[in-house]
């Protein structure tokens, strides 16, 4: 009997051991295989596509920008449709209570007749998972899930994800204030202005003004307006929002877009005079802008035409955008307008307080040339500089023109050859200007025609006289 019990005992132990081994290894492996095959079958039969946007992503588990953008986008829809909402208090905001979808809530959205489902969810909590993470809360990972029929995959991934919100690309323009061809005095003035703005939170609060600053950059094409915006953005390290007004449907859409900007934002409207009917003279302006454009750019013109037809952003809408309460919603906002025709803008748009600082970008003078020579040829001085300095006193050439001539055309082109090619171009330009001046003398009876020809571009005299405007 005793022997039987011993055998039973060892049999039981063996069974327990085998069971433990099976339990430990096989079920997991089997479950995985089973899961993979089940998923395959489901994928074949399930006609929907799901995209997940986790709140925290990347190696350092930073808060995902896509998640934030979706949250903002859905907060409008969801606060009307979802039954369970979550209220968040946003510090420094005019409207401190923000409603968003609660976890496990689902809302339906429609885009171009296609139905889509958004769900806010959370993975099961794991109290230990993030105990060392600064970024993520310990109560599970939140995410949004977008579900739609697979036949609409292209529409959703190409158009819907982008619609009514900013498309996001990494800003990688290499321009800095150091490489910007401009007088050092002007550069320092702009840098100081930016620094004062960046550190001015308390000051703006004290004087009761929204923390924002408007810059108007004006000057002929190729003088570095866009380059300066890039330098400003790199210096401030803010997000840059390039606002193409002609593509914005109306003032409401403009407002929506601005609400979606981040709290450290540079909002850029390039060629403001060509964008919209801001003064009630759209046709006149647009004709002029079109004249400026080379004849071989029909596509841009056509595009503007069709966009303009549908765009109903008005001057007052734009002024509201500058002054509006959105800009006071806790954050530093810089608004930059650029134009080639500053005189033609509506005074209401550029009055002090809206566009706080007017910066003229003008033709290339010797100091600016030296920056370009350093950038392009890595030289600080050269015996040909004296000749170039004299020519730049009289020639109306933009930094873009100078840069083009300084760029070596082939690998074995040396500094001297590049500088000589610039001198040649400058001499040609001066000769042309002299010739044009003589023609002007002849046509003195028709001064208005010449004014039209200049069309807001500074002449050599203008630039010398006005220089940098505050």
- Residues in contact with ligand ATP by CB under 6 A are 180-182, 221-227, 340, 361, 399-400, 403
The residue with its CB nearest to Mg ion is: 226
Span 22-61, contacts to Mg ion by CB under 5 A: none
Is 239 within 8 Å of 305 (Cβ atoms)? no
Q: Which residue has the tokens 């609409």?
A: 152
Give the separation between CA 210 and CA 29, rounded to whole angstroms: 60
Which of 204, 468 has the CB closer to ligand ATP? Answer: 468
**Pick from Mg ion, ligand ATP, none: which does 272 bind, CB < 5 to 8 A by kind?**
none
Between the alpha carbon of residue 341 and those of residues 353, 403, 421, 462, the distances in Å are 20, 23, 31, 14
Q: Burial code of 391-400, b = ≥16 C-beta within 10 A, e = fewer? A: bbeebbbbbb
Q: Which of Mg ion, ligand ATP, none lies near 224, with the C-beta cut-off 5 to 8 A by kind? A: ligand ATP
Place of tokens 């730049």: 392
Cβ 226 to Mg ion shortest distance, Å: 3
CB neighbour burial string for 282-299, b if at least 16 within 10 angstroms, e if fewer: eeebbebbeeeeeeeeee
Strands 239-242 and 264-269: parallel
Minimum CB distance to Mg ion smaller for 75 or for 227: 227
Which window, 145-153, 170-178, 224-232, 382-390, contacts Mg ion (CB under 5 A)?
A: 224-232
* Binding partner at 213 among ligand ATP, Mg ion, none, C-beta below 5 to 8 Å by kind: none
| 3-class DSSP state of 239 | strand
Binding Mg ion (rule: CB under 5 A), the pick from 75, 100, 223, 226 is 226
Q: Rounded to an integer, what distance in angstroms lies between the CA atom of residue 5 and that of residue 350?
A: 100
Tokens of 270: 């390039």
Which residues, in sequence order, are CB contacts of 38 under 8 Å at separation 6+? none
Which does residue 180 touch among Mg ion, ligand ATP, none (CB within 5 to 8 A, set by kind)? ligand ATP
Residue 100's binding partner among Mg ion, ligand ATP, none (Cβ under 5 to 8 angstroms by kind) is none
Rounded to a whole number of angstroms, the minimum distance from the CB of residue 397 to ligand ATP is 11
What is the closest distance, in whole angstroms, from the C-beta atom of residue 273 to ligand ATP in the complex? Answer: 11
User: Which pair of tokens denotes residue 202?
Assistant: 């308390």
SS3 8: helix
- Select 220 or 331, whichever has its Cβ closest to ligand ATP: 220
Q: How far is the CB of 287 from Mg ion (least distance, A)?
A: 21
Distance separating alpha carbons of residues 16 and 21, to the nearest angstrom: 9
Q: Residue 275, interface with Mg ion (CB under 5 A)?
A: no
Task: Quote the least distance from Cβ 431 to ligand ATP, whole Å.
Answer: 23
Token pair, residue 64, equals 């995902």
- Nearer to ligand ATP by Cβ, of 209 and 409: the residue is 409
Stretch that binds Mg ion, among 50-58, 118-126, 221-229, 316-324 (CB under 5 A): 221-229
Residues at the interface with Mg ion (CB under 5 A):
225-226
């Amino acid at each position: 009997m005793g022997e039987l019990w011993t055998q039973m005992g060892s049999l039981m132990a063996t069974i327990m051991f085998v069971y433990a081994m099976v339990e430990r290894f096989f079920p997991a492996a089997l479950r995985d295989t089973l899961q993979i095959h089940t998923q395959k079958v489901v994928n074949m039969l399930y006609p929907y596509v799901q995209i997940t946007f986790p709140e925290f992503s990347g190696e350092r588990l930073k808060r995902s920008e896509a998640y934030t953008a979706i949250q903002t986008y859905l907060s409008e829809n969801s606060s009307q449709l979802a039954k369970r909402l979550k209220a968040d208090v946003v510090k420094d905001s005019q409207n401190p209570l923000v409603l968003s979808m609660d976890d496990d809530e689902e809302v339906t959205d429609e885009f171009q007749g296609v139905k889509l489902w958004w769900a806010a969810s959370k993975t099961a909590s794991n109290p230990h998972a993030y105990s060392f993470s600064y970024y993520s809360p310990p109560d599970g990972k939140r995410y949004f899930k977008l579900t739609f029929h697979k036949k609409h995959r292209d529409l959703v991934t190409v158009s819907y994800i982008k619609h009514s919100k900013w498309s996001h690309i990494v800003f990688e323009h290499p321009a800095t204030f150091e490489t910007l061809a401009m007088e050092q005095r002007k550069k320092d003035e702009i840098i100081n202005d930016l620094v004062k703005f960046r550190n001015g939170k308390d000051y703006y609060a004290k004087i009761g003004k929204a923390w924002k600053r408007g810059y108007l950059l004006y000057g002929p094409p190729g003088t570095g307006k866009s380059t300066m915006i890039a330098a400003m953005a790199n210096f401030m390290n803010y997000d840059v929002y390039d606002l193409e007004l002609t593509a914005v449907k109306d003032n409401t859409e403009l407002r929506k877009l601005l609400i979606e900007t981040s709290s450290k934002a540079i909002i850029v409207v390039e060629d403001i005079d060509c964008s919209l009917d801001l003064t009630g003279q759209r046709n006149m302006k647009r004709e002029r802008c079109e004249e400026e454009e080379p004849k071989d750019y029909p596509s841009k013109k056509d595009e503007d035409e069709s966009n303009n037809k549908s765009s109903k952003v008005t001057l007052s809408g734009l002024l509201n955008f500058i002054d509006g309460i959105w800009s006071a919603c806790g954050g530093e906002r810089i608004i930059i307008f650029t134009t080639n025709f500053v005189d033609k803008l509506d005074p209401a748009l550029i009055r002090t307080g809206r566009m706080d600082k007017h910066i003229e970008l003008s033709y290339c003078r010797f100091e600016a040339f030296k920056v370009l020579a350093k950038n392009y040829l890595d030289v600080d001085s050269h015996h040909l500089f004296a000749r170039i300095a004299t020519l730049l006193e009289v020639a109306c050439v933009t930094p873009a023109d100078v840069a083009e001539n300084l760029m070596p055309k082939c690998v074995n082109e040396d500094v001297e050859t590049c500088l000589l090619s610039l001198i040649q171009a400058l001499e040609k330009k001066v000769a042309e200007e002299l010739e044009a001046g003589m023609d002007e003398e002849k046509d003195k009876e028709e001064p208005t025609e010449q004014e039209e020809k200049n069309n807001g571009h500074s002449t050599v005299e203008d630039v010398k006289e006005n220089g940098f405007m505050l």
